Chain A
Amino acid sequence: MAYRVLIVDDSPAMRAFVRRVMELSGFDLSDCFEASDGAEALTLLRSEWVDAILTDINMPRMDGEEFLKQLAADDLLRSIPAIVISTDATEARITRLTALGARGYVTKPFLPEQLREVLEHTLGVPDAE
């Protein structure tokens, strides 16, 4: 099964990197959408269904925390798993974002296979073996 993923990050370079890493890692990606902040992501999600969201925290306009709150408050969107990608690996931040609804957390720097593992775990992809 191939998956549709939305990347939310204000850095175009980081969005391009995450997309590349998903492809390099062998993750089964069918469509990849991009948004530069939470507000743009919410607009996009009104017209495109995705299987998973990869989101940054520090973004202008609507940051990752507010984006997770808005997702959790939306009857249609709350079932989409959101995974945070961030440089912030502090326990306090991870606990807070998990409480807001993040279903996975990837700390930068990460290896391609680490991103794939978290994505597949979150999506319930069965092991290949």
Chain B
Amino acid sequence: MPNSELGRALRESTVDVLEKMFFAQPLEEPAGDLPGAVLAVKLAFEGAPSGALTLTVTEDAARQIAADFLGEDESEISGRRVEEVTCELANMICGSVLSRVESQATFRLASPQLLAAEAWRLDPHPGEARVVHSVALEKGKLTAVMETH
């Protein structure tokens, strides 16, 4: 599959999911280092193609996303709840991307796994294909990386 097709699907899915399910207004922004502390989630998938999605969100943005998703006050949401919502966000973006590129096939998503702070840095030697999409949110930044093999 061409990287351009996967990249377009990742871009459209990220915006669609954030707008519809998280009531966020993302603005496209160049990929780059994330400022400050981040939450990182990795989600493997099997299908045609197989691979993994890694989602990194700055902590303040993750808390805001969780609050908007659940309709609760940011100050009252536990860290555990923020992590659950970030995992769900990764699940939705990944499923949405694969549905766009695999309309005739089925795929299987593994459970999202939280990554330790030092573990989410991108592998400098990616697999067959890697696409990256970053957006700016009101309180931080979100980057989605999809790698296929």
Known interface pairs A13-B81, A13-B85, A110-B20; A92-B99 also in contact (CB < 8 Å):
no
A109–B17 contact, CB under 8 A? yes
A111–B20 contact, CB under 8 A? yes
Tell me which residues across on chain B come within 8 A of A87, comparing CB atoms: 91-92, 94-96, 98-99, 109
Min Cβ gap A25→B in Å is 13
Tell me which residues across on chain A come within 8 A of B99, comparing CB atoms: 87-90, 107
B20–A58 contact, CB under 8 A? no
Tell me which residues across on chain A come within 8 A of B85, comparing CB atoms: 13
Min Cβ gap A127→B in Å is 24
Question: Number of A residues whose C-beta is below 8 Å from B?
Answer: 24
Q: Give chain B's interface secondary structure class.
A: helix
Cα distance A36–B134 when bound, in Å?
A: 32
Known interface pairs A87-B99, A88-B95, A109-B21; A13-B69 also in contact (CB < 8 Å):
yes
B70–A90 contact, CB under 8 A? no
Tell me which residues across on chain B come within 8 A of A108, comparing CB atoms: 17, 21, 92, 95-96
Apart from A86-B95, A108-B92, list 8 A-B contacts with CB within 8 A. A13-B69, A13-B70, A13-B88, A87-B99, A88-B109, A90-B102, A91-B104, A108-B95
Chain B residues near A (Cβ < 8 Å): 16-17, 19-21, 66, 69-71, 81, 84-85, 87-88, 91-92, 94-96, 98-99, 102-109, 111
Q: Can you list 17 A-B contacts (CB < 8 A)?
A: A11-B87, A12-B84, A13-B66, A13-B69, A13-B81, A13-B87, A13-B88, A20-B71, A58-B108, A58-B109, A88-B107, A90-B98, A90-B102, A107-B99, A109-B16, A109-B20, A111-B20
Cα distance A80–B52 when bound, in Å?
A: 36
Min Cβ gap B9→A in Å is 12
Tell me which residues across on chain B come within 8 A of A32, comparing CB atoms: none
The answer to whether the Cβ of A14 comes within 8 Å of any Cβ in the partner chain is: yes
Cα distance A89–B21 when bound, in Å?
A: 16
Min Cβ gap A53→B in Å is 20
B106–A93 contact, CB under 8 A? yes
Known interface pairs A11-B87, A11-B88, A14-B88; A110-B109 also in contact (CB < 8 Å):
no
